[in-house]
């Protein structure tokens, strides 16, 4: 009963098979190989963006931080949600790779940026000119850290606010596949058609062994892509044997596998949430829109679940070691592409006691 993270899931068989094929004999290094070319072609086709620049890396933190460093100078600020991954879970990497850019934290319900709050923050900035941190970029997380989604209209509104100050919009898409599978709109509608200029496309949480891709869209794509390449090399994230990353990405994208895997994870979260609600023991404060559920359960129920072998994280923080049995404690339950109905049913049976 593993619900700790989609990072705990294995790689999909098709991805491992692709790696084995990529391992047959020599190939060009540093991305000069057919797998990198194929991954690039697939991203361009799927996103309806024939001029997009596609650059693989192996971690989400590298993808986000190097992309934001490409978009934002060190004397400026990146606007993000106050609970964004770039703020809470990347050890200051965006600040490090930008050379000192600031994060401006924007509130919003269910971990989605409130457009009005963003608009106010940008309007109030830079009142003293050279003495102030400047406006730099905006980043959104799709799906958010609380498993909620931005619709195309939501993204367009944020992009328009950013665009009024000539700021680029970046998307942390570690769980972009879950969003695309749920919303049923094209990847293009969720990115460049809605004003997104740079995407960190995550595959690791959704069936890959370890690969992400930074994708630049629009008129600045080529220039930004070249700058990113230099930053990737200087930052130690250019793989000499790039084929092993790109082979994963290509296999993941081929024939819609990425959406199929994400849809499985989303469906598992739906089944889990339905069972939690039916139990009468859980409160679920956030909409279940991707592959994560954030229930609040009595302390005694957590004890039963943990005794039965369920693995998950308390959320948003570790509770005190002792307390009354009926004390409500939040947690995060994450489903993956391989989460089995049997595991969900066993979890719910342990929950009911």
pLDDT at 127: 86
For the chain, the three-class secondary structure string (H helix, E strand, C coil) is: CECCCHHHCCCCHHHHHHHHHHCCCCCCCCCCCHHHHHHHHHHHHHCCCCCCEEEEECCHHHHHHHHHHHHCCCCEEEEEECCCHHHHCCCCHHHHHHCCCEEEEECCHHHCCCHHHHHHHHHHCCCCHHHCCEEEEEEEECCCCCCCCCCHHHHHHHHHHHHHCCCCEEEEECCHHHHHHHHCCCCCCCCHHHCCCEEEEECHHHCCCCCEEEEECCCCHHHHHHHHHHHHHHCCCCCCCCHHHHHHHHHHHHHHHHHHHHHHHHHHHHHHHHHHHHHCCCECCCCCCCCEECCEEEHHHHHHHHHCCCECEECCCCCCCCCCCCCEEEEEEECCCCCCHHHHHHHHHHHHC
By percentage, how much of the chain surpasses pLDDT 70?
100
pLDDT tens digits, 82-95: 999 999 999 999 99
Domain at 258-352: CATH code: 3.90.1150.10
Q: What is the mean pLDDT of each run of 10 residues along the chain (353 residues)?
A: 98 99 97 99 99 99 99 98 98 98 98 99 93 97 99 99 99 99 98 99 99 98 99 98 99 99 99 98 98 98 98 95 96 99 98 94
Query: Could you state, in order of their start, the residue ranges of all structural domains in the chain?
Result: 12-256, 258-352
The average confidence (pLDDT) of the chain is: 98
Prediction pTM value: 0.97
Pick the CATH number of 12-256 from 3.40.640.10, 2.40.50.1040, 3.30.70.20, 3.40.250.10: 3.40.640.10
């Amino acid at each position: 009963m593993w619900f700790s993270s989609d990072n705990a899931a294995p790689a999909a068989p098709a991805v491992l098979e692709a790696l084995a094929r990529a391992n047959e004999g020599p190939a060009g290094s540093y991305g000069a190989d057919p797998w990198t070319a194929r991954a690039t072609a697939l991203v361009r086709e799927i996103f309806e963006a024939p001029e997009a620049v596609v650059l693989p890396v192996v971690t989400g933190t590298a993808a986000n931080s190097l992309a934001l460093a490409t978009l934002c100078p060190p004397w400026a600020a990146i606007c993000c949600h106050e609970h964004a991954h770039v703020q809470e879970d990347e050890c200051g990497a965006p600040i490090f790779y930008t050379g000192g850019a600031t994060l401006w934290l924007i509130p919003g319900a269910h971990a989605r940026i409130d457009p009005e709050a963003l608009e106010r923050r940008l309007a109030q900035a830079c009142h003293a000119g050279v003495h102030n941190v400047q406006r730099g970029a905006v980043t959104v997380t799709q799906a958010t850290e609380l498993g909620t989604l931005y619709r195309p209209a939501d993204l367009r509104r944020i992009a328009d606010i950013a665009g009024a100050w000539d700021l680029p919009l970046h998307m942390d898409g570690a769980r972009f596949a879950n969003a695309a599978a749920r919303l049923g709109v094209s990847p293009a509608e969720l990115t460049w058609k809605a004003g997104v200029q740079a995407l960190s496309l995550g595959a690791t949480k959704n069936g890959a062994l370890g690969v992400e891709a930074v994708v630049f869209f629009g008129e600045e794509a080529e220039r930004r892509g070249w700058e990113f390449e230099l930053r990737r090399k200087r930052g130690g994230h250019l793989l000499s044997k790039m084929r092993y990353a790109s082979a994963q990405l290509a296999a993941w994208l081929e024939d819609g596998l990425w959406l199929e895997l994400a849809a499985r994870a989303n469906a598992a979260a739906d089944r889990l949430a339905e069972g939690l609600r039916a139990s009468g023991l859980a409160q679920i404060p956030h909409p279940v829109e991707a592959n994560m559920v954030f229930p609040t359960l009595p302390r005694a129920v957590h004890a039963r679940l943990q005794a039965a072998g369920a693995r998950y994280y308390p959320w948003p923080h570790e509770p005190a070691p002792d307390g009354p049995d009926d004390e409500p404690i939040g947690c995060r339950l994450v489903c993956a592409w391989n989460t089995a109905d049997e595991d969900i049913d066993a979890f719910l049976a342990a929950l009911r006691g």
